[in-house]
Amino acid sequence: MLAGWNALACRAFAEAGDGVGPLAAEVFKRDLPNRAVVGSRAGDVAAAAGIPLLENRRTVGGVATAYVCRKFACDAPTTSPEELARQLSEGV
């Protein structure tokens, strides 16, 4: 990841899109310069291999989980669109 880029690593539970909709909507309704969004199905280790934003990122409580990362550090994972909104608003 390049310095200065903001990124969201989002892990969806079981089926693609299952529960990830509200988190994705929160991300895409904002103007976030230099945004990178990546995702994979929960437990799909092969899909996450070689993608630093996805490696070692797990779902919380078996539901879609978002990780907001800036300058090589990530906030605590969240499953809440409201908490995700707060995290995305920081540093903007």
Q: Where are the domains of the chain?
A: 6-89
By C-alpha distance, which of 27, 5, 23, 1 is closest to 13? Answer: 23
Burial 22-52 (b: 16+ CB within 10 A, else e): ebbebbeeeebeeeeebbbbbeeeeebeeee
- Mean per-residue pLDDT of the chain: 76
pTM of the model: 0.76
Residue 37 has pLDDT above 80, yes or no: yes
d(CA 38, CA 8): 7
Determine the length of the chain: 92
In the beta sheet, which residues pair with residue 78?
A: 66
Select the more confidently predicted residue: 42 or 67: 67
